[in-house]
């Protein structure tokens, strides 16, 4: 009887690895009281981390329409993770910045993810894996410009 894990297609292995790591990551964050956030919110927090963005800029980073970004910002504002301010460049622009609550989430999420990576490191050569993934990404994206946003594709 053969081990099904051993005969993985590359594509299936990538998808399932991502799913399992992300699911465990989310499970731990939920246990820490962050059930009100989805993965995409953490992704948005990273984009907003350094000084904030306008909603249209955030939309570009997330690969969604500005309306979808606006809805997400409304939700995050209600939940106390972001606030809107007048934009220094004026116009109708508004600068969306993280609150302290979101900054704390970023710190906790970062530590949680690194702890998970350390645990995996006992069985898997994480730096080597990361290098191979970086090479894979560079190969696929070669000459096609900057990296696209992470989006659901399944």
Partner DNA sequence: GAGGCAAGTAAAGCTGGTTTACTTGGAGTG
Partner DNA sequence: CACTCCAAGTAAACCAGCTTTACTTGCCTC
- For DNA, the binding residues (CB under 7 A) are 38, 40, 54-57, 64-68, 70-73, 84, 87, 90-94, 152
> Considering only residues 2, 6, 89, 100, which one is a binding residue for a second copy as defined by CB under 8 A?
6
DSSP state of 5: G
64 binds, among DNA, a second copy, none (CB under 5 to 8 A by kind): DNA
* Cβ-based neighbour number of residue 99 at 10 Å: 15
Looking at the DSSP bridge assignments, the partners of residue 34 are none
Judge residue 40's burial from the number of C-beta atoms within 10 Å of its C-beta, 0-12 exposed, 13-18 middle, 19 or more buried: middle
Looking at the DSSP bridge assignments, the partners of residue 53 are 96
20 binds, among DNA, a second copy, none (CB under 5 to 8 A by kind): a second copy
Give the residue with the Cβ less far from a second copy, 27 or 85. Answer: 27
Site for a second copy in 69-108 (CB under 8 A): none
């Amino acid at each position: 009887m053969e081990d099904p894990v051993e005969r993985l297609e590359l594509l299936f292995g990538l998808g399932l690895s991502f799913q399992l790591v992300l699911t465990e990551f989310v499970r731990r964050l939920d246990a820490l009281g962050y059930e009100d956030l989805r993965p995409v919110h953490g992704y948005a927090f990273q984009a907003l981390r350094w000084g904030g963005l306008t909603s249209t800029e955030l939309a570009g980073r997330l690969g969604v329409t500005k309306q979808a970004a606006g809805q997400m910002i409304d939700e995050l504002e209600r939940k106390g993770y972001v606030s809107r301010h007048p934009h220094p460049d004026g116009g109708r622009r508004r600068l969306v910045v993280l609150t302290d609550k979101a900054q704390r989430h970023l710190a906790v999420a970062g530590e949680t993810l690194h702890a998970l990576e350390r645990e995996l490191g006992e069985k898997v050569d994480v730096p080597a894996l990361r290098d191979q993934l970086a090479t894979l990404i560079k190969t696929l994206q070669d000459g096609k410009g900057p990296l696209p946003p992470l989006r659901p594709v399944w």
